[in-house]
């Protein structure tokens, strides 16, 4: 019988292991002590182990993260985040499917906007996961395709290949920083398709990887990445938000972001450089 084990990185890239619906391990802090988003939402001034455990337990109880009770459909969680941008553009017909990652299922091809939101909204970096049959069945009932139901494999390149085989033409891919980003971009060039790459969970990204990411993707979250902050201060891409900005690495990314802003009645971004850094994560790493 496959062990029920899920590894995520959350709240400043701290490694958290969940087995059978219980936290079994919380790794050491990696240097990020403050997040303005959690300060604004929860009044938390320091991301210590006590708060991390409390927050992860809340996610498990509230929407069944890493358990058979996982809720896969949700409304918007915040004003503008990656899942909200994807949901809006799928509703508008700009995106046919999203190749994403879901705890208990692995890489998933999603075609339902509320599923895109529910799967991605409140889960941090998913490092590894094991199959949860109930979650996989819920996803299938909503028209999603699980890349490998037997292993819950996380492989966004293989997810893209499957989406292409299924005939999708406008494909969004959510991915963590890795060399696979460039592989995905290069692979997509051989097909008459549009592939939009969204990169999340960028804390601790190296300076060398940041250039590769901005050369090959469309939207990149700042998280607590020192290298991304420095890169964007130098090259000045279009962005939205001041606390934890979302940067557009391409004109396509800008259009997708602007579609979300228009949808919710927000003015298009006029954020300028130098950026306001009065309330950003620290320490950046």
Give the per-residue pLDDT at 122.
82
pTM given for the model: 0.96
Q: Shortest CA distance to 161 belongs to which of 191, 205, 132? A: 191
Q: What are phi and psi of 36, to 5 degrees?
A: -65, -25
**pLDDT for residue 51 is more than 90:** yes
Instruction: Look at 63 and 29; give whichever has higher pLDDT.
Output: 63
Alpha carbon distances (Å) from 206 to 5, 30, 143, 226, 272 = 28, 15, 37, 9, 25
Give the per-residue pLDDT at 121.
87
Confidence of residue 1 (pLDDT cuts 50, 70, 90): low
CB atoms within 10 A of CB 229: 21
Confidence of residue 148 (pLDDT cuts 50, 70, 90): very high
Q: What confidence tens digit (pLDDT) does each residue in 251-269 have?
A: 999 999 999 999 999 999 9
Q: What confidence tens digit (pLDDT) does each residue in 77-118 have?
A: 889 999 999 999 999 999 999 999 999 999 999 999 999 999
Confidence of residue 197 (pLDDT cuts 50, 70, 90): very high
281 touches 223 (CB < 8 A): yes
192 touches 200 (CB < 8 A): no
122 touches 77 (CB < 8 A): yes
Instruction: Look at 147 and 31; give whichever has higher pLDDT.
Output: 147
Residue 208 burial class via C-beta count within 10 angstroms: exposed 0-12, middle 13-18, buried 19 and up: exposed
**pLDDT for residue 183 is more than 80:** yes
Angle between helices 207-216 and 180-188 (to 10 degrees): 20
Give the per-residue pLDDT at 223.
96
Give the per-residue pLDDT at 42.
85
Give the per-residue pLDDT at 41.
86
Q: Write down the mean pLDDT value for the chain.
A: 96
Distance of alpha carbon 236 from alpha carbon 239, whole angstroms: 9
Give the per-residue pLDDT at 124.
85
Q: What is the mean pLDDT of residues 46-68?
A: 95
**pLDDT for residue 123 is more than 90:** no
């Amino acid at each position: 019988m496959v062990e029920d084990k899920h590894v995520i990185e959350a709240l400043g890239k701290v490694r958290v292991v969940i087995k059978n619906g219980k936290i079994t391990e919380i790794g050491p802090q990696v240097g990020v002590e403050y997040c303005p988003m959690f300060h604004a939402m929860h009044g938390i001034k320091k991301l210590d182990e006590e708060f991390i455990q409390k927050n992860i337990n809340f996610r498990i109880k509230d929407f069944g993260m890493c358990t058979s009770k996982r809720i896969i459909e949700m409304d918007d969680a915040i004003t503008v985040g990656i899942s909200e941008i994807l949901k809006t553009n799928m509703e508008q017909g700009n995106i046919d499917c999203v190749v994403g990652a879901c705890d208990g299922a692995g890489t998933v091809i999603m075609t339902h906007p509320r599923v895109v939101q529910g799967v991605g909204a409140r889960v941090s970096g998913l490092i590894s996961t094991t199959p949860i049959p109930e979650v996989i069945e819920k996803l299938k009932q909503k028209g999603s395709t699980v890349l490998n139901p037997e292993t819950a494999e996380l492989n966004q390149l293989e997810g893209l290949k499957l989406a292409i085989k299924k005939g999708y033409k406008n494909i969004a891919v959510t991915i963590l920083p890795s060399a696979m980003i460039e592989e995905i971009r290069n692979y997509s060039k051989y097909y008459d398709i549009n592939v939009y790459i969204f990169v999340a969970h960028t804390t601790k990204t190296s300076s060398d990887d940041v250039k590769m990411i901005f050369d090959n993707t469309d939207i990149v979250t700042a998280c607590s990445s020192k290298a991304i902050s420095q890169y964007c201060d130098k090259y000045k891409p279009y962005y939205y938000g001041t606390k934890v900005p979302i940067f557009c690495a391409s004109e396509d990314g800008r259009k997708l972001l602007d579609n979300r802003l228009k949808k919710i009645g927000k003015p298009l971004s006029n954020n300028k450089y130098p950026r306001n850094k009065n309330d950003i994560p620290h320490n950046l790493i």
